[in-house]
Amino acid sequence: MRRRWSLRTRFLLAASACLVPLLVVVAYVLYQSLEHSRDQLIDVQTAVGEVVATGLESTLGENAEVLTGLAADDGVQSLSATASADPLSAAIKNRRSLLALFLADGNGNIISSTGPPAPSPPLQQDLDTTIQRSLQFGEIGVSAPMPVMISQPAEEVAEVVVITAPVYSGDTIEGQPVGAIGALLSVQRLESALFPFGSGQTAIAVVGPEGRLIASRAFGLEGDLTDNDQTDTFSQPIAASLTGTQGDFTYQDASGEDRLAVYVPVDFEGAAWTVLVTSLAPTTYGPNRTLLQNGILALATAVVATLLLALFFGETIARPLRRLTAQATAIAHGDFTQPLMIGDDPNEGDEVGRLRIAFRDMAARLARQVHDLEIGRRDRELQADELRELNRRTVRLQEDERRRIAGEIHDAVSPLITGALYQARALRMANGKMSPAESEEGLAAVGDLLARASDELHGVIFDLRPPDLDDLGVVAAIERYISNIQRTGLSCTLEVEGEVPNLTPEVRLGIYRIVQEALHNVVRHAGADEATVRLEVLQDLLRVTIRDNGAGFDPERAVRPTSLGLLSMRERAAAIGGSFQIISTPGLGTSVVIERPLAPEQISRAEPERHEDTHVRRAEHSHTWVPVGVGHT
């Protein structure tokens, strides 16, 4: 089943989806910034390492030149303690970086010295190795740091580095050296040369073979270099440095913080040294770490704020939509009573506001339509009830009419026919015994009875369907019916204004039946003694008015919706395309008005006029049929 997300959840998901590329970009920028900081730090450390290495190379080179110059002195070449004392003393005074100078013979024994005694016995091997390098290979030798006792100005132990140079006999530098001259360089003074570069989080160290620390400034690399866990970390870069390669690596110090280190080889013959420059990694460096943490915190705050805003706006938009949904659901169930909440400004730019307004208008229109449909339904139910009542009463009236017709035939026509039949039998039974006069009188009686029966039967047939309606038109048929209605004692007149057009059989029958029903109601219910039927042709309109001077009534109150007479007249008027109206006032009589539009072809064609009329004649100027002697019989 497909899950349906709410609008608020969709807003939240949309905001999260929009934040994803932003977070990716921020992470990428942050990563690039860290990489850039790392590259910058490596460049700075490399530059510092190269400066320190160059400084060490320069210091060692200068002291090697001093030793090489002393090795060319005759007093030094003589390997005599007395003869070498003066040049050694003069040299030590001019070079403050040198703590002492010494001269060794070909066996490595020191024969003359201007400074402190030899180093402590554990480090004598390093000194001998350095001297032997110069004696055997004729090269400059540089030793590892070693402590020596300095007697002036006070007895103290100082870290020194020994540098030696071969001493040859005479001016030549070929062959086997006859001795070696050496100098003690102060490690403290070497470290002071590194002071401007080693400060804060940056540390500088000069490391010899096997990770032996020669000099350092501003950090405790001693613990890292002697830590067994860091052996591989430093041994590989130092080994690479001995091949003349420089590079960088990352490690964790004793406190567990990440550090970035750069190693630079010291390019000096006899000194297998490496300059290490380390600093805290960009992600570990305090200000950078604080900045990174603050940035991540600010980014997380921004993300949370964005999601909260998305949740807020989603709820702001979803709330009225939920109300609209509830109202739409109520309307769907037929409940139009819930109020529609809308804004004050109908022209506001809020799409939801305009939706609410449109929904309100739609709901109002739908409510009106439902109301109209409900009224129509009630009207249809009322009409259905009326039609059922009409059908019921129609069936009853049909049965009454059948009984009336049967009664009239039985009471009026049947006795006459029966009398004629008996008279005819009597004539036949006489069988010529009657005189001609009696036979003639008998036949005359039979003919009179049959004529009277024919007249009675013709009246019954006329009530059912007047022949004049089809032969002579609606005016003649109404005239004939008025003649019959005179017998009830009602004084009735017919007025015709204009030429009545040639109407269709359906229209003629409808008008005739309406007039017939109206006059029948006047006789039965109105209590009137006069009535008028008026036919008017007004351009394209046929108007029929039946007016009486009876008691009248209130059409809004007194007339039952199921009144058969009124309902049948209204239905007949609607069936022929006409309008039906009752105008009545209590005490002032009643008027029934039927109006029907005429087609253009009906206006120019009039019904044939009657030429033999004993009850009406046509006025010469008023175009009105005026009764003659009607109502006085």
532: Cα within 13 Å, side-chain hemisphere: 16
SS3 state at 503:
coil
Answer for the pair 492, 519: CB distance below 8 angstroms, yes or no. yes
Q: What is the DSSP letter of 171?
A: T
Tallying the residues shown for the chain, one arrives at 633
Mean per-residue pLDDT for 423-427? 74
In the block, which residue shows the tokens 């949309």?
14
Alpha helices for 72-97 (secondary structure H): 74-77, 81-94
Mean per-residue pLDDT for 446-456? 75
Q: What is the pLDDT of residues 166-223, one digit of tens each?
A: 998 876 666 788 899 998 888 877 777 665 555 567 788 888 877 777 777 655 555 5
* Helix (H), strand (E) at residue 134: helix 124-137
Average pLDDT in the chain: 77
Answer for the pair 139, 270: CB distance below 8 angstroms, yes or no. yes
The token pair that represents 165 in the structure block: 């140079």
* DSSP one-letter string for 211-279: G-EEEEESS-HHHHHH-GGGHHHHHHHHHHHHTT--EEEEEE-TTS-EEEEEEEE--BTTB--EEEEEE
Closest CA to 252 of 289, 223, 294: 223
Q: Which residues pair with 259 in a beta bridge?
A: 251, 280
Answer for the pair 84, 114: CB distance below 8 angstroms, yes or no. no
* CA dist., res. 70 & res. 93, Å (int): 13
ω into 153 cis (within 30 of 0) = yes
Q: What is the pLDDT of residues 11-43, one digit of tens each?
A: 778 888 888 888 888 888 888 888 888 888 889
pLDDT confidence bin for 630, thresholds 50/70/90: very low
371: Cα within 13 Å, side-chain hemisphere: 8
Asked whether the predicted pLDDT for residue 273 surpasses 90, the reply is: no
Radius of gyration of the chain (CA): 70
Residues 6+ apart with CB under 8 A from 398: none
Closest CA to 219 of 159, 158, 266, 277: 277
* CA dist., res. 94 & res. 86, Å (int): 13
Asked whether the predicted pLDDT for residue 320 surpasses 80, the reply is: no
Asked whether the predicted pLDDT for residue 419 surpasses 60, the reply is: yes
* CA dist., res. 515 & res. 522, Å (int): 10
| Percentage above 70 pLDDT, the chain | 76
Exposure pattern of 432-463 as b/e (b: 16+ CB <10 Å)?
Answer: eeeeeeeeeebeebbeebbebbeebbeeeebe
Q: Give whichever of 397-406, 445-454, 621-630 has the largest mean pLDDT.
A: 445-454
SS3 state at 484:
helix
User: Number of helices (H) and strands (E), helices first, in the chain?
Assistant: 16, 18
SS3 state at 36:
helix
One-letter amino acid at 259 equals R
Rounded to 10 deg, the angle between the 81-94 and 7-71 helix axes is: 140
190 compared with 224, residue with greater pLDDT: 190
Q: What is the pLDDT of residues 487-506, one digit of tens each?
A: 788 889 899 988 888 888 88
How would you classify the pairing of strands 491-497 and 530-538?
parallel
Asked whether the predicted pLDDT for residue 545 surpasses 90, the reply is: yes
The token pair that represents 300 in the structure block: 């997380």
Predicted pLDDT of residue 618: 40
Q: Give whichever of 11-15, 459-463, 594-598 has the largest mean pLDDT.
A: 594-598
Predicted pLDDT of residue 619: 35
Q: What is the pLDDT of residues 43-89, one digit of tens each?
A: 988 988 888 888 888 888 888 888 888 888 888 888 888 888 888 88
252 compared with 352, residue with greater pLDDT: 252
Asked whether the predicted pLDDT for residue 366 surpasses 60, the reply is: yes
Predicted pLDDT of residue 609: 47
Predicted pLDDT of residue 594: 92
- How far is CA 472 from each of CA 399, 453, 459, rounded to the nearest angstrom? 30, 25, 17
Answer for the pair 606, 500: CB distance below 8 angstroms, yes or no. yes
CB atoms within 10 A of CB 249: 16
Q: Indicate yes or no: pTM above 0.85.
A: no
- How far is CA 243 from each of CA 37, 240, 246, 261, 267, rounded to the nearest angstrom? 28, 5, 9, 18, 10
**3-state SS record for 268-307:** ECCECCEEEEEEECCCCCHHHHHHHHHHHHHHHHHHHHHH
Asked whether the predicted pLDDT for residue 307 surpasses 80, the reply is: yes
Answer for the pair 497, 532: CB distance below 8 angstroms, yes or no. no
Determine which of 180-184, 354-358, 440-444, 555-559 has the lowest per-residue pLDDT on average. 555-559
Closest CA to 146 of 131, 125, 165: 125
Asked whether the predicted pLDDT for residue 513 surpasses 70, the reply is: yes
- How far is CA 494 from each of CA 178, 511, 540, 583, 602, rounded to the nearest angstrom? 174, 14, 21, 19, 22
Predicted pLDDT of residue 190: 74
pLDDT confidence bin for 154, thresholds 50/70/90: low
Answer for the pair 129, 197: CB distance below 8 angstroms, yes or no. no
Answer for the pair 66, 114: CB distance below 8 angstroms, yes or no. no
Mean per-residue pLDDT for 290-306? 84
Rounded to 10 deg, the angle between the 414-430 and 436-464 helix axes is: 160
99 compared with 287, residue with greater pLDDT: 99
Asked whether the predicted pLDDT for residue 623 surpasses 60, the reply is: no
Question: Residue 319 burial by CB count (10 A; 0-12/13-18/19+): exposed, middle or buried?
Answer: middle
